[in-house]
Structure 1
């Protein structure tokens, strides 16, 4: 993959990181990357190991986890705050990536246990079922 294509893909990924709560779709992200939607999707997956949609949903679930830990918003409010438009789809995806429902996650005790943020981020990033064995608990 060419350096210019990687730069364009990173630009689209940055848009997802920054504007995760906005309605984003592949055609809009492909325009940011100056690529056709098909080429963008294939290139994104090749460069980052997951589809643009999967990456965006992972970002949204990460943000949702942070909002749910605060405990001052309902699950429905969190769903809409992170850019999801369907509570059912949000709950299903959250449960798939986190391993428990948003309500159960919100109800748990999330007090700081003295783990450095850089390490906590590794272990709290949502993991798809197939990735759990690959990533394991190492730092690799």
Structure 2
């Protein structure tokens, strides 16, 4: 499996054709890019998707420029040349996937294929937090060799395509079995776990009082909003540490911790070992 760590990045990787048993997954990666990064004009025979985790990027297609804010998804259809020609103003963090959508849609359903067939132009979905979790699952399965890898990659790729189809179609969402305020708050935290979410802000956006939101979280999740946010951050940190070559302090600040020491102490309480020990255990051949 071609697994490349470009030298001009702060951290991250790109995997091309990560598994011969899953030919529909053409390319996947996660990268922390420095100020001034450029990406030359290119296109693919299949769909390519970029999710902006942090920072801001600008993609150009012909004479049109698409500005991609944090939390947004940029979808480039097959054959459409796109580039990031401008020097970026600051560091930015993004994930990307190139996938044979038609092959996945044959397993998922023809109605999913129709969503993509209707989209011949690039699309930007401003609030695409649901795609972030799908990206993270793909990155985890690509970067760590575990039993039934091909089956897991195939399922993760299908789940990703299905999630993007939902976003492109703009279908309705309804909460089932969970209070709507908790669902809204969870969605916000999962979209931006690095943000310093305060309960009053979450409660206002979720449509209830801070005390009621905290009570709902305790009842439905067994934790306060702050405790759940900490869990999200630490679980994400564990996934990223498994990729290797990500400085612990940089990772800590990226995920919203006040310092590397604060992050290391919280990580040890959660997992029973330090972040560096976790990275060494996850390294190939360890």
Return the TM-score normalized by structure 2.
0.36
More helix by share: 1
Tell me the equivalent position of 1:92: 265
Runs (4+) of structure 1 exceeding 6 A deviation are none
Question: Of residues 22, 29, 42 in structure 1, which corresponds to 2:202?
Answer: 29
1:111 to partner: Cα distance: 3.8
Match of 2:218? 45
In 1, Cα distance between the equivalents of 2:188 and 2:215? 18
> Runs of 5+ in structure 1 lacking a partner?
113-140
Structure number with larger C-alpha Rg: 2
Q: Does structure 1 residue 63 correspond to structure 2 residue 236?
A: yes
Classify 1:101/1:86 alpha carbon distance in 2 versus 1 (closer, same or farther; 3 Å). same
Task: Tell whether 2:246 aligns with 1:73.
Answer: yes
Following the alignment from structure 1 to structure 2, what is the Cα–Cα distance between the partners of residues 28 and 20?
A: 14
TM-fit CA distance, 1:4: 10
- 8 Å CA contact retained: 2:218, 2:224: yes
Q: CA 1:107–1:9 in structure 2 vs 1: closer, same or farther (change >3 Å)? A: same
The C-alpha deviation readout for 1:54-108, integer Å capped at 9, x for no partner, is 1101110111111111112111011012121222221111101111011211222
Question: 2:250 aligns to what SS in structure 1?
Answer: helix
CA contact (8 A) 2:181 2:213 kept: no
In structure 2, distance between residues paired with 1:61 and 1:4: 26
Once residues 282 and 178 of structure 2 are traced to their aligned partners in structure 1, the CA distance between those partners, rounded to angstroms, is 43
Aligned Cα root-mean-square deviation (Å): 2.0
Which of 12, 21, 30 is residue 185 of structure 2 equivalent to? 12
Q: Secondary structure at the match of 2:242?
A: helix
What secondary structure sits across from 2:245 in the alignment? coil
**Which structure is higher in RCO with an 8 Å CA cutoff and minimum separation 6?**
1
Aligned length: 110
User: Which deviates further from its counterpart, 95-104 or 84-93?
Assistant: 84-93
Structure having the larger proportion of residues in strand? 2
In structure 2, the residue matched to 1:83 is 256
